[in-house]
Amino acid sequence: MEQNIDYSDLKGRYNFLKKAKKELDLTRGRPSSQQLDLSNNLESIMADNFIQDGIDTRNYGLLEGLPSARELAGHILNSDPSNIFVNGTSSLTLMGHYLQSLFFQGSGQVPWKDLKKISFLCPVPGYDRHFLMLEKLGIKMIPVPLLGKGPDLNLIEHLLEADESIKGILCVPKHSNPTGEIYSKECIEGLANIKKVDFKVIFDNAYAVHDFEASAELPNIEKIFIENDNHDSLVMLGSTSKISLAGSGLAFLSLSPSNMNHFVNYFSRFSLGSDKVNQARHARIFNSKKALDLHMKKLAKLLKPKFDLVQEKLNSLPEGIATWTKPTGGYFVSFNSLNGNASKIYNLCSEAGLKLTPLGATFPYGKDLENKNIRLAPTQIELEDLSEAMDLFCLCVLLAEQED
């Protein structure tokens, strides 16, 4: 760590950058164009052969997806392909459909719409779009701190004892958004041990295969839940949004056989099939574990220098004013101002042209009570701009301190 930062001309340097007001953006976890270019082969892979798995992919049918696409999704989620449902392009949309199915039909229990109140546990800091979805569905959100290898299980136990309305928990088990943490075996086992009727542990495994350097292995979630005789509590989701094309990838859901029956019964009222042409394109390109691994390695090569640069810049900050995560995969770095300066930093950045994820977004209802967390999303921006963005960010962190 650099200990002797020259505080004398921070304001001068800041004013210079503010005047230049270059537009810099670290708001959202989007893939860069270079990443997307790696999937240009999807465009031509079908040629004029539309038969996949013996099925004419152009027609209606197969709501649950092509067998080869279910196999690919099963590999990504570490789930038996027979438990997989592949449909649409967005795992968020699929999560929305699944939650709505619980409200309007239920999964063998009373539909949630007939209950007075539904609450969910929300590990924090977390993914803003999860919170926005739960809020829109009228689900009360209860924050639970993440401890580095998953949420606080003791607190979860107390909360569950005290509140009957808690019906689920929404987790990102690998390279969590934004903390980057990977849930431990003990944590997954603890969650698999929650034996509460009609309780759902939802794992949004959006970054399941997204390591940009050697990473801890995520335990086999499905196996642990089945061994705990609790498969009906488990819901897993994922997509290829950050593997192939964001917006034109494959989204998938993994459910126990009983939950699958309920969900297919519900969803079949709204759709006659799935986009099997897109599924076949993906199944052909990612036709083996080796092919997928190779592709993820190419993506990692593009991502690692960006994350290294973020660490290098943050490491120049003096000790004691902030902490931040050092992820080994995923799309984010989670920054915490130790002196509750997040809003000051955010405002200074935004006045000088650096856009950040809105303050508080990583907490339910947008409420970061300690005013400390800022999510940094360095994937889309070019390396050169990222360097400028991080210089400006660090400058604003120092200025916010100075103003204290």
Ligand X SMILES: Cc1ncc(COP(=O)(O)O)c(C=O)c1O
The minimum distance between CB 207 and ligand X, in angstroms, equals 7
Of 52, 91, 328, 362, which lies in the binding site for ligand X, with binding defined by CB under 6 A? 91
Q: Which stretch binds ligand X (CB under 6 A): 87-95, 152-160, 193-201, 283-291?
A: 87-95
Closest to ligand X by CB, 73 vs 389, is: 73
Q: Which residue among 32, 90, 228, 343 contacts ligand X (CB under 6 A)?
A: 90
Q: How far is the CB of 98 from ligand X (least distance, A)?
A: 13
From candidates 39, 79, 107, 177, binder to ligand X by CB under 6 A? 177
Nearer to ligand X, 166 or 237 (CB): 237
Residue type, 199: F
> Do residues 238 and 70 lie in contact, with contact meaning Cβ atoms separated by under 8 Å?
no
Nearest to 30 by CA among 387, 386, 378, 282: 378
| Contact between 51 and 57 (Cβ < 8 Å) | yes
275 binds ligand X (CB under 6 A): no
Q: Measured between alpha carbons, how far is 204 from 237 in angstroms, rounded to an integer?
A: 5
Q: Which is nearer to ligand X, 26 or 92 (CB)?
A: 92
Q: Which residue is nearest to ligand X (CB)?
A: 239
The correct pick among 64, 128, 181, 204 for binding ligand X (CB under 6 A) is 204
Give the bridge partners for 328, in sequence order. Answer: none
- Measured from the CB atom, the residue of 90 and 228 that comes closer to ligand X is 90
Instruction: Give which of 215, 239, 237, 192 is closest to 327, Cα–Cα.
Output: 215
Interacting span for ligand X (CB under 6 A) from 66-74, 84-92, 189-197, 393-401 = 84-92
CB 393, CB 354: distance < 8 Å: yes
Q: How far is the CB of 245 from ligand X (least distance, A)?
A: 10
| Residue with smaller CB distance to ligand X, 208 or 396 | 208
The residue within the footprint of ligand X, chosen from 68, 79, 87, 239 (CB under 6 A), is: 239
Question: Measured from the CB of residue 366, what is the shortest distance to ligand X in angstroms?
Answer: 17
Minimum CB distance to ligand X smaller for 55 or for 300: 300
Question: Interface with ligand X includes 254 (CB under 6 A)?
Answer: no
Q: How far is the CB of 327 from ligand X (least distance, A)?
A: 12
Angle, vertex CA 115, rays to CA 113 and CA 118, nearest 5: 85
User: In angstroms, what is the minimal distance from the CB of 206 to ligand X?
Assistant: 4
User: Is residue 127 at the binding interface for ligand X, with CB under 6 A as the rule?
Assistant: yes
Contacting range for ligand X; rule: CB under 6 A; set: 86-94, 150-158, 195-203, 336-344: 86-94
Residue 243 touches ligand X, criterion: CB under 6 A: no
Please give the residue ranges that form the binding site for ligand X (CB under 6 A).
Answer: 29, 90-92, 127, 172, 177, 204, 206, 239, 241, 246, 251
